[in-house]
């Protein structure tokens, strides 16, 4: 028995003597492999699988986020401060919005006084700021508390939309020069698609008879489009503000609608249609406030809605306007 136990102990000591050198050899191989794979080109850590962080581009609302995304492709992280359906003029930034601005590499805003909250929002951000309306021929607001200021809704003209794209391409090329050629290519292709929509819009609006070329909306957000399409513009208020749908505004529009024989009046997705409903009831004109027949300006819809992109917004509004102004009174 003692002899057997002795032989077992001896075997275990022999096994340990064999295993120990083997483990040391394996450890050496692993260390050497780690040194080889952990260093590359001059000893710098390999980033092949680490993934390069995309520069962050923060936009003020969903319309220009979509425009910017078409140019950016997969190279930039393009975000919008506001969500679909949000009213942009007097938006109140959240603490999270301010944090995002501080971490952004580039901030794109519309300019022309659209984002009245923007200066306070951007105060603590070191990101470069680019106004996309730069180069647009502004139209003045004709009345109200902002009379004499530029009408900020320049993107509603496809011609101006192409100016926005040029400004986006320039900003992205300066932010990320390695992909400048791709941004330029994406921008040119996107402008061609915008121009196609512009041609469709012009063709549709050109079919309206002379007596049915008055566009009546809640907000005066279609001035640039009306200038391009040679439409007459009537609105309840010139730009979203505190004084919206006052009795004086309603009475004035009722008189103009009756005088021009307007068959259909419209309201935008981000405003209360109550005042325009008064106009429609008083004049016998058509007014539809469902998602498929309201107009979109300051915000895109959700992905499954009627206007998930800038191009779809332009197409939708053109269709709704043409159909509305082509019909008879209710």
Domain count, the chain: 2
Confidence of residue 177 (pLDDT cuts 50, 70, 90): very high
Is residue 197 domain-shared with residue 309, that is, in the same domain?
A: no
Residues above pLDDT 70, as percent of the chain: 82
14 found inside a domain: no
- Tell me which of 201, 225, 246 is where a domain ends: 201
- Tell me which of 137, 171, 201 is where a domain ends: 201
Q: Residue 216's beta-bridge partner residues?
A: 234
Is residue 100 domain-shared with residue 77, that is, in the same domain?
A: yes
Residue 36: Cβ-neighbour burial (10 angstroms; 0-12, 13-18, 19+): exposed
pLDDT score recorded for residue 211: 78
| Torsion angle defined by CA atoms of residues 18, 24, 26 and 28, in that order, rounded to the nearest 10 degrees | -150
Confidence of residue 51 (pLDDT cuts 50, 70, 90): low
Task: State the average pLDDT over residues 136-153.
Answer: 91
Task: State the average pLDDT over residues 86-95.
Answer: 79
- Domain limits for position 304: 207-326
Summary mean pLDDT of the chain:
84
34 found inside a domain: no
Confidence of residue 328 (pLDDT cuts 50, 70, 90): low
- Tell me which of 201, 233, 254 is where a domain ends: 201
With a cut of 60, say whether residue 36 has pLDDT above it.
no
């Amino acid at each position: 028995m003692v002899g057997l136990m002795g032989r077992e102990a001896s075997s275990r000591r022999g096994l340990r003597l064999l295993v120990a050198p083997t483990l040391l050899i394996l450890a050496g191989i692993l260390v050497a492999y780690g040194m080889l794979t952990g260093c590359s080109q001059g000893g710098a850590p390999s980033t092949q699988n680490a993934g390069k962080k995309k520069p962050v581009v923060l936009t003020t609302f969903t319309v220009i986020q979509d425009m910017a995304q078409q140019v950016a492709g997969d190279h930039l992280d393009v975000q919008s401060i506001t969500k679909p359906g949000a009213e942009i003029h007097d938006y109140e930034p959240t603490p999270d919005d301010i944090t995002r601005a501080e971490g952004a590499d580039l901030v794109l805003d519309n300019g022309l006084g659209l984002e009245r909250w923007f200066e306070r929002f951007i105060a603590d951000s070191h990101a470069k700021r680019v106004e996309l309306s730069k180069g647009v021929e502004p139209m003045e607001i004709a009345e109200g508390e902002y009379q004499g200021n530029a009408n900020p809704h320049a993107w509603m003209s496809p011609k101006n939309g192409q100016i926005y794209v040029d400004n986006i391409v320039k900003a992205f090329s300066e932010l990320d020069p390695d992909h400048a050629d791709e941004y330029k290519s994406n921008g040119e292709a996107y402008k061609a698609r915008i121009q196609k929509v512009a041609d469709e819009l012009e063709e549709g609006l050109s079919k309206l008879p002379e007596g049915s070329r008055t566009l009546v909306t809640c907000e005066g957000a279609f001035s640039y489009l009306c200038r391009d399409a040679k439409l007459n513009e009537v609105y309840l208020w010139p730009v979203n503000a505190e004084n919206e749908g006052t009795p004086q505004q309603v009475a004035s529009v009722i008189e103009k609608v009756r005088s021009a024989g307007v068959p259909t009046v419209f309201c935008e997705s981000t405003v209360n249609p109550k005042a325009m409903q008064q106009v429609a009831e008083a004049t016998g004109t058509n007014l539809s406030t469902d998602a498929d027949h309201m107009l979109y300006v300051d915000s895109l819809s959700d992905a499954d809605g009627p206007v998930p992109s800038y191009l779809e917004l332009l197409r939708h509004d053109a269709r709704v306007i043409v159909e509305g102004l082509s019909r008879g009174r209710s």
